[in-house]
Structure 1
Amino acid sequence: MNTAYLESLHICFCCFFLPLWGLVYIDEHLKKQIVGVGETARFVCLTAIHPADVQQVIVVWTHDGVPVNLTRHNKYSYQRHANQHILVIEHTDYRDSGEYSCQAKAGTVEDVSTAHLTVLGVPEPPKNLQLISCHGQSAELVWDPGDEHGASIRMYTVQFNASYQPDTWHDYSEPFDGETANALVSVSPWGTYAFTVIAHNSAGPSEPSNVTSSSCSAPPDKPDRNPKNVHARTDTKGKLVIEWQPMERLYQHGPGFRYHVFWRQSSSTYWNSAYQNDAAADSYEIDVDTVYGLYDIRVKAENDLGESHQPAFVFKGHSGEDEPIVVPKDFRLDRSRPLTSSTAHFIWEAVETSVDKIQGHFEGYRLEYWKSSEGRHKMKQTDIIVPHEQKDEPDVRAAISGLPSYTAVRAQVVVVNTHYSGPPSHIIDFFVPEGVPEKVRQLRAESVGMTYVLLKWLPPEIPNGVLVGYHIDYQQVVNVSLGPVIPLHPEIKNPSTLGARITGLEPHHSYRFYVSAKTKVGLGSPDVVDIRTVNGTLTEASKEAIPKWNMQKKKASISEGRQIVGSMVMLFVQILVMYLGM
């Protein structure tokens, strides 16, 4: 009978009827799996059978036709949920790749489903790498591919080292196609080289292959390039300092390697030249009588076989700078801007920025300032860069932030080029206004009772003005929630008072206190301390001793000498009122 017809008949039967007694089939087939090395693979096999035969179903798992050893609990585990059979493979490695089958049996009837597991990882290194030829500056390599480990080889990278630097491996400039197993590579003159090869797939690069047992030696030749990053450095007066990036031994190509340095003033047609014979050198200095003069410069690589095959590019560079000779004029405070407790604004006339005046590249200005009480040796500086669109304006405006409050300050301005500053302007004196103080120091709870706390602190290290007192806020802490912040009154008006006894607190409660120093400008940032009052039960007598407005409104008060007397008078009045009301 036609096989396709039987299969379609079986599918139709499975879809529309319950399986007959003794008939089992796989209702949901295994699905292929792709996992990385060390990951977990999971195959699910869903069987269908008549309910009366569920307990008769036996499922056998195989790997490449061999039964899976389910007693290896560190590798395999088998789970069953009704008609669902699950094989879990832990800590996969490349040996776990292959065909997995779920074979469901009920008596003499069985059905099988198969799927592939791919354990994906970086490929094995290429094997049996050999150098089969070496002629002039060419070497030919062949190798055997290693195991792909689940993903096809995308490319190969050839690496080489040189006998004079055997621990340094270089990648060949171009990769080779993953379907090839040989490579023809060029090598640099004047060296002896060994090779290795790395395979790449979608999971990453392999370890390097074995190193070739034989090496390839190339004869010397002239250099094929010149130094990079040729430029002039301008920080040395009276010198033209030409710098470049030194060329590695790999690119010197022969003995007697040296740098041929050329220079001329840009207005001249005659080239001066000299040799730097140190192959590791990165500069050459020439004495000149120009200040920030413009020069043409170039550096060419040479060895005993001749100069580089490539022409050397010509670059522009300047000789060393010197101090600017121009002085900013009419330096003063900018009265159109407010002088605050931390910022001062200045204005002065812009200077002429020609090379003759600046003696270098004009960078801008530098504001210099210091406390009048300390002198220039503690001078601070702020660089002022003039935007290009403002360079033609007649005046320059700038500001200094972070000034010390309530302090006499002196300031001046100078012109700067890349490396030097010019003579200063005249000095101006000004006084920075008061600001808010810094935090109080060493805030702490000196003692804590059931209903009170005694706070102590030290004044701010930097008051930023004249202290006029202290301000205290508090809030109750319940679990992780904070209550409203409540200010304590009256404020401390005497800056010499460095503590406060705060009463009227609840026993066994947590509070957070904030203490801020104050100048006439305002409050500084607060320091914070958390306390918890002592646990206990207030007697009726002790309740009578606490003013009622404290107990009911949960307010605290600062007890100082005169307030204690006032509280006693208030208590007497309250007791008298209570007595008359009875």
Structure 2
Amino acid sequence: MWYGVPWWTKHKTGAHPLLRVPPVPQPPTITLQSPKDYIFDPRENIVIICEAKGKPHPSFSWTRNGSHFDVDVDSKVLMKPGSGTLVIDISGEKAEAYEATYQCLAHNEHGTALSNDIVVRQSRSPLWSKERTEAITVQAGVSLVLHCRPPAGLPPPLIFWMDNSKFNILPLSDRVFQALNGDLYFSNVVPSDTRNDYICFARFPHTQTIQQKQPISITVLENSQSAERAPGFMAPVGASSTQMVLRGQELELECIPEGLPTPEISWRKEGGELPSNRMSIVGYQRTLRISSVVESDAGDYRCTAKNKLGSAEHSIKVTVQASPFWISAPRNLILAPNETGILNCRVSGDPKPKITWSINGMPVDNAPLDPSRKVEEDTVILNHVQSGSSAVYQCNASNEFGYLLANAFVSVLAEPPRVLTPPNNVYQVITNNMALLDCASFGSPMPTITWFKGSTTAIQNVDPYVIHENGTLEIHTAQPVNSGRYTCIATNALGIKENHVKLEVKEPTRILRLPEYKVVERNMDAVFECRVKHDPSLVPTVTWLKDNKALPLGDNRFVVEKDSLTIRDVSEEDKGTYTCIMNTSLDQDSASAMLTVVDNPMSIPQYNQPDPPSDLELTDQMDRSVQLTWIPGDEHNSPTQKFVIQYEDLLHQPDVWVNLTEVAGSGTTARLQLSPYVYYSFRILAQNHVGFSQPSHPSRQYRTNPAAPDVNPSDVQASGTDHNNLVISWKPLTGLQANGPALRYKILWRQKDADQEWVEETVANASRHVVTDTPTYAPYEVKVQAVNDYGSGPEPQLVLGYSGEDLPSSAPEGVQVMVHNSTLAEVHWEPISSSTVRGKLQGYKVYYKRERGVHETEAEAPEGAAPQTVTFGGDLSEGRLPGLRPYSVYDLHVSVLNGKGEGPPSPSRSFSTPEGVPEQPGFLEISNPNVDSLTLEWGPPLNHNGRLTGYTLKYQPVNSTSELGPAKLMTIAANQTSVTLVNLKSSTLYKFYFYATTIKGSGPSITKEAFTVMDTAVGVLCPVCLARPPGPVFGPLNATASEDGAMLNWEYFGQPRNIFVEYTVEHSKEEWKREAVNSSAHSFTIKGLKPGASYKVRVVARDPVTDSMVHSTEEELVSVPAVANRQVDIATQGWFIGLMCAIALLILVLLIVCFIKRNKGGKYPVKEKEEAHQDPEIQPMKEDDGTFGEYSDTEDNKPLKGSRTASNGTVRRDESDDSLVDYGEGGDGQFNEDGSFIGQYSGKKEKDTHEGNESSEAPSPVNAMNSFI
């Protein structure tokens, strides 16, 4: 299951957008709709709102009074484009025609969502019915009611009374009161009430019209003396009444008394207290209002009317009922195929609501049968959902007072994980602050988030790390060691996605050199220093303030530099406090100092702490206060800022001085508030800018008289330590608070709501008291009062506590397990009754233990580890079990927790998790490296997490710049443990990714790198297969010079790195030149060196990332021999002449032999033979692998010195060479009529016939030379 995440998130360095999730199918959701009761003004258009979202965007339709409403038929009705909102033009029409109950339907291919039933009614302001009012004549002092009886409007009107002569609202009082129904009540009338224009007005809010009743006339007859009478009630009538109110609404109770004098009203609730935070008494105490009514507000309320002649009471019995209200509304579900989901529609109400379910607007009983769907009253269970079963479910809960309608879609999606947080985010935080690394994800099934630091270290959810449910990694106190690269991996059954972020923990910014207090002569310069230490990667900016305000703009006298502020040519206006603020992008630090400007150097004062005050005198002595006066000491050129007055209590704490109060630096007297029963001595310290003075000499001792305590003990608590006791504890009073001798504590307690009397106990020198033989976890009211020999403290505050808890006596019942996927299950249980909790419910504890794999029998199962536990706090009835092992059988039970401990376990339930992806293979080893092949061997995963279906191998070459080449994939059977890869490139680094797979997909990979062997005669093992011998990584370097180069040979035993041959001219300042070499090579020839020059050469191994030198051979000196001038006339050389003569003689001998042969054996077309046959000796010669393997290919394939090589790599021959070779070397098939000359002139034995691509290789220069022999 997947839960949404916000599109934007914020981390330490600011806000950044999350990657947008590609659109995924989504059933419709109603986002905005009109209220259930829509009253419209007939002068305006009717607008019935209906907005919805979904993918694809939904279309809309309407019903009216339960039947389809064709919007297109009525020209007065318009539906807004892209919306379901209806606009009905009622101008010129009868508005009553559109009064009806409307419902909006939003639908797309994945389902249909419904709006509430919207009852549309026209507002009305009817006229007052015609009536004839009679003039009223009453005696003074009697009660009177003027009835209003306004017309029933929609919505109901607002009522008020006015007098017609002045059009003023009638003043109200406790004697003259307007009731909630609009009637006007007189508790007793007086002559001034005589008036002929009492008018009741009704204002209708929607139409903004006012209607009025006919005026009422009242004449009050004066009596010589009005008869006083005891109170009674004009409304409600009788001694009691009842009233019903709905939960969540406002309760208004009204009591209107009559009597003379005018009675006063008070309110109370029988057997309970009025809710002070939701209660108000208004209307001259006549009306009690309680907002947001709850069930506990039900009960008997009493209003009491009282005057000097007596009192009267009226009881109102309030019952609370409730229209349906949500306990848990159904939530949208996104499920993967074969997952299980639950829709809960938990409501309450009084009477109990009836719950009905619909699917896409159709009652569930009429919907197509679906065996995966199970409806149980307020719950829909969806087992093993399939693709294409997306829908919108409606839950309707109703009773006689109303209804609730909720839409919840079930979208069946199979989506691999996606990480929504942008890649490569860099988070910066200051040391010791909290760091939050985001990893918002999307997927179905819901991805599991795993964090890694570096490449291999998995982060556990333990200090200092916290992995939040949304994937965010929290480091609550970041340290520099936490800096580095972090990887979050989102995994579900369909794949794996990773994201990399970087955390940089910076040093805090601190001001090391603070600005100092300066006294500067006028017209001189003032310099404040402000040197800061900060993280090298952060750039600080300095800001200077004067008296907490910015420096004056455009004033060039203020010069701000990196570490200082200079004020040139200071004047009197420059004095003040200067603050240096050092800011970085992450933090700041600040420091301040004062500048004082003086007239001349002679006036620069010497500053020091003030002298202590003297002559301390106590006057105007009273029980709780005394007047202290003193004479200030010398200020030493720095004004006194304040005086600190301290006292010593010689009775309770001798030799301890405590700050009592502070006085401004200009003061010399203070009124000190004192406590009783204390032996006081006082002393004073003065403070200026430099510091504090020494303390003054103490005053004479002043003793205050004892008194009763002023305060009671604080922090009073009541709780039990055992199931049958109550421990009452408090914080004792100090000696200064005792106020008198023999301090002790009076403890009072009683069980709440048990009609018990207070139990009292007095203790001394204690801070706790234990009450025994109490019932288990019963509420108690507790008070603790301080007492001494002079009386008791004030009335103590009431504290509520509970006696001790006992272990729960029962276990949860109805334990069920819903398996969501291979690693997540949801457990449900029925909460236990409060009577069996026997304490404060702390939550429920779930024990679950893996017993065995699904494929294992009980006998094959290994010894199980300790069970895992997860605790769900509060009064929950369900919880999730993450991190399960796939393809496993688990045993589970649930117990309840209270403050005492854990109750008995529930009966065990077993459940199985489906297959998941396997763990990574146990190991991966690479052996038998060859020129074009490698052998891989592996071990199976430690945990298969299902039935292993095989392995997947992905490999790709890596070039010298660490770039990856094209990847190849290979599927391998599950029973294989090795494979040999062929047709690989020689001398190439390959990277291998090896996965194990089940039917659910591939698990995490194990990776390795290895080289193939260089294509030489010597089989050099890959570095990963060689055990490095002890000693240096490089063996000795051998260097041999040639005419234009140098041959280098070495041994290398290190890890695969970038290997270079580097050289430079001796005594030259030029940089070293380098040639890249395969890391498996052991020889190299440097070409193009200058003859006669000396070179320093070395072989180095460099880091592939930083290019820094890791290992190096010793430097060798190579001297390239000088070459003599060879530009001579070759025709004059003796050797050349001799060679030509020998060739001529040889040709002559051959011609003679051919001539004799022709005459003897017949005529042979020699020229045709030459053209038709080519000497195999001149064909390319392929050496056997391994022969003379100590030489490299580059050496073997070089032509001999002096030979001419064509551009295609073959040795050129002229026509005379070809014909001579044919006859001199011969071969099978030449002169085959008699065979007399076969093989007689061959330079060597026939070679074995070679297959393959010989014709594409260069001819051996050795064979070419043999043809001349």
Report how far residue 269 of structure 1 moved.
4.4
Report how far residue 471 of structure 1 moved.
4.5
Determine the structure 1 residue equivalent to 2:29: none
Contact 2:612-2:685 within 8 A present in 1 as well: no
Unaligned runs of 5+ in 2: 1-511, 528-555, 578-591, 595-606, 853-861, 1010-1054, 1060-1075, 1083-1250, 1259-1269
Instruction: Note if 1:236 corresponds to 2:712.
Output: no
Instruction: Note if 1:323 corresponds to 2:807.
Output: yes
Instruction: Note if 1:264 corresponds to 2:940.
Output: no
User: CA-to-partner distance for each residue in 1:500-538, whole Å, 9 max, x for gaps?
Assistant: 9899579798x8765555444333344667874452646
In 2, the alpha carbon distance for the partners of 1:507 and 1:318 equals 80
In 1, the alpha carbon distance for the partners of 2:991 and 2:649 equals 71
Determine the structure 2 residue equivalent to 1:490: 970
User: CA-to-partner distance for each residue in 1:188-213, whole Å, 9 max, x for gaps?
Assistant: 44355555557599xxxx85543343
In 2, the alpha carbon distance for the partners of 1:196 and 1:576 equals 111
**Aligned partner of residue 917 in structure 2, secondary structure:** coil
Decide whether aligned partners of structure 1 residues 218 and 236 sit closer, same or farther in structure 2, where only a CA change above 3 A counts: farther
Instruction: Note if 1:382 corresponds to 2:870.
Output: yes
Instruction: Note if 1:404 corresponds to 2:885.
Output: yes
Determine the structure 1 residue equivalent to 2:846: 367
Contact 1:240-1:319 within 8 A present in 2 as well: yes
**Aligned partner of residue 826 in structure 2, secondary structure:** strand
Report how far residue 237 of structure 1 moved.
1.0
**Aligned partner of residue 822 in structure 2, secondary structure:** coil
TM-score (norm 2): 0.30
Report how far residue 180 of structure 1 moved.
3.2
User: CA-to-partner distance for each residue in 1:118-158, whole Å, 9 max, x for gaps?
Assistant: 56648986641457245555462644595897x995x6665
Report how far residue 238 of structure 1 moved.
0.5
Decide whether aligned partners of structure 1 residues 132 and 236 sit closer, same or farther in structure 2, where only a CA change above 3 A counts: same
Out of 307, 328, 332, the residue aligned to residue 792 of structure 2 is 307
**Aligned partner of residue 804 in structure 2, secondary structure:** coil
Contact 1:342-1:402 within 8 A present in 2 as well: yes
In 1, the alpha carbon distance for the partners of 2:688 and 2:946 equals 70
In 1, the alpha carbon distance for the partners of 2:634 and 2:985 equals 83
Determine the structure 1 residue equivalent to 2:905: 424
**Aligned partner of residue 1252 in structure 2, secondary structure:** helix
Determine the structure 2 residue equivalent to 1:10: none
In 1, the alpha carbon distance for the partners of 2:576 and 2:611 equals 23
Which amino acid is 2:969 matched to? H
Q: Which stretch shows the higher mean deviation, 396-405 or 421-430? A: 396-405
Contact 1:126-1:198 within 8 A present in 2 as well: yes
User: CA-to-partner distance for each residue in 1:34-87, whole Å, 9 max, x for gaps?
Assistant: xx9943899xxxxxxxxxxxxxxxxxxx953798999xxxxxxxxxxxxx9999
Percent identity between matched residues is 21
The 5-angstrom pairing of residues 267-282 of structure 1 reads: 267-279=754-766, 281=767
Contact 1:129-1:141 within 8 A present in 2 as well: no
Contact 1:436-1:524 within 8 A present in 2 as well: yes
Which amino acid is 1:236 matched to? D
Instruction: Note if 1:333 corresponds to 2:333.
Output: no
User: CA-to-partner distance for each residue in 1:201-253, whole Å, 9 max, x for gaps?
Assistant: 9xxxx855433431655445443211222222244211112222343444334
Decide whether aligned partners of structure 1 residues 486 and 364 sit closer, same or farther in structure 2, where only a CA change above 3 A counts: farther
Which amino acid is 2:759 matched to? N
Out of 1230, 1243, 1252, the residue aligned to residue 576 of structure 1 is 1252
Decide whether aligned partners of structure 1 residues 380 and 508 sit closer, same or farther in structure 2, where only a CA change above 3 A counts: closer
In 1, the alpha carbon distance for the partners of 2:703 and 2:746 equals 25
In 2, the alpha carbon distance for the partners of 1:268 and 1:448 equals 92
Decide whether aligned partners of structure 1 residues 117 and 408 sit closer, same or farther in structure 2, where only a CA change above 3 A counts: same
In 2, the alpha carbon distance for the partners of 1:284 and 1:474 equals 78
Report how far residue 264 of structure 1 moved.
1.3
Which amino acid is 2:813 matched to? K
User: CA-to-partner distance for each residue in 1:309-363, whole Å, 9 max, x for gaps?
Assistant: x2211222221122233332222223xxx4422211223334333xx33222334
Decide whether aligned partners of structure 1 residues 489 and 117 sit closer, same or farther in structure 2, where only a CA change above 3 A counts: same
The 5-angstrom pairing of residues 532-551 of structure 1 reads: 532-533=1056-1057, 535=1059, 537=1077
Report how far residue 299 of structure 1 moved.
1.0
Contact 1:41-1:88 within 8 A present in 2 as well: no
Which amino acid is 1:489 matched to? L
Contact 2:994-2:1007 within 8 A present in 1 as well: yes
Decide whether aligned partners of structure 1 residues 415 and 470 sit closer, same or farther in structure 2, where only a CA change above 3 A counts: same
Contact 1:131-1:214 within 8 A present in 2 as well: no
TM-score (norm 1): 0.58
Instruction: Note if 1:224 corresponds to 2:710.
Output: yes
**Aligned partner of residue 371 in structure 1, secondary structure:** strand
Larger Rg: 2
In 1, the alpha carbon distance for the partners of 2:927 and 2:698 equals 83
User: CA-to-partner distance for each residue in 1:548-570, whole Å, 9 max, x for gaps?
Assistant: xxxxxxxxxxxxxxxxxxxxxxx
The 5-angstrom pairing of residues 41-190 of structure 1 reads: 64=521, 101=569, 116=574, 118=576, 121=593, 127-130=611-614, 132-134=616-618, 138=625, 140=628, 142=630, 143=632, 153=641, 158=645, 171-172=659-660, 176-177=663-664, 179-188=666-675, 189-190=677-678
Unaligned runs of 5+ in 1: 1-35, 43-61, 71-83, 103-112, 543-574
Contact 2:525-2:569 within 8 A present in 1 as well: no
Higher helix proportion (structure 1 or 2): 1
Contact 1:364-1:416 within 8 A present in 2 as well: yes
Contact 1:129-1:144 within 8 A present in 2 as well: yes
In 2, the alpha carbon distance for the partners of 1:415 and 1:145 equals 73
Decide whether aligned partners of structure 1 residues 89 and 144 sit closer, same or farther in structure 2, where only a CA change above 3 A counts: farther
Contact 2:640-2:686 within 8 A present in 1 as well: no
Contact 1:125-1:209 within 8 A present in 2 as well: yes
Report how far residue 465 of structure 1 moved.
4.6
**Aligned partner of residue 612 in structure 2, secondary structure:** strand
Determine the structure 1 residue equivalent to 2:781: 296
In 2, the alpha carbon distance for the partners of 1:502 and 1:195 equals 97
The 5-angstrom pairing of residues 14-25 of structure 1 reads: none
Determine the structure 2 residue equivalent to 1:247: 733
Determine the structure 1 residue equivalent to 2:1176: none
Report how far residue 298 of structure 1 moved.
0.8
Decide whether aligned partners of structure 1 residues 88 and 519 sit closer, same or farther in structure 2, where only a CA change above 3 A counts: closer
Q: Which has the higher contact order (CA 8 A, sep 6+)?
A: 1
Decide whether aligned partners of structure 1 residues 384 and 100 sit closer, same or farther in structure 2, where only a CA change above 3 A counts: closer
Which amino acid is 2:743 matched to? F
Decide whether aligned partners of structure 1 residues 370 and 490 sit closer, same or farther in structure 2, where only a CA change above 3 A counts: same
Which amino acid is 1:321 matched to? E
Decide whether aligned partners of structure 1 residues 376 and 365 sit closer, same or farther in structure 2, where only a CA change above 3 A counts: farther
In 2, the alpha carbon distance for the partners of 1:69 and 1:384 equals 66
In 1, the alpha carbon distance for the partners of 2:694 and 2:928 equals 76
Decide whether aligned partners of structure 1 residues 69 and 515 sit closer, same or farther in structure 2, where only a CA change above 3 A counts: same
Report how far residue 385 of structure 1 moved.
3.8
Determine the structure 1 residue equivalent to 2:770: 285
Determine the structure 1 residue equivalent to 2:697: 213
Instruction: Note if 1:524 corresponds to 2:1003.
Output: yes
Contact 1:38-1:91 within 8 A present in 2 as well: no
Contact 2:728-2:770 within 8 A present in 1 as well: yes
In 1, the alpha carbon distance for the partners of 2:637 and 2:941 equals 71
Report how far residue 259 of structure 1 moved.
2.7
Report how far residue 290 of structure 1 moved.
0.8
Report how far residue 411 of structure 1 moved.
0.8
Contact 1:194-1:211 within 8 A present in 2 as well: no
In 2, the alpha carbon distance for the partners of 1:444 and 1:191 equals 87
- The total of aligned residue pairs comes to 444
In 2, the alpha carbon distance for the partners of 1:128 and 1:137 equals 27
Contact 1:471-1:518 within 8 A present in 2 as well: no
**Aligned partner of residue 223 in structure 1, secondary structure:** coil
Decide whether aligned partners of structure 1 residues 277 and 167 sit closer, same or farther in structure 2, where only a CA change above 3 A counts: same
Out of 515, 533, 553, the residue aligned to residue 39 of structure 1 is 515
Decide whether aligned partners of structure 1 residues 471 and 138 sit closer, same or farther in structure 2, where only a CA change above 3 A counts: farther
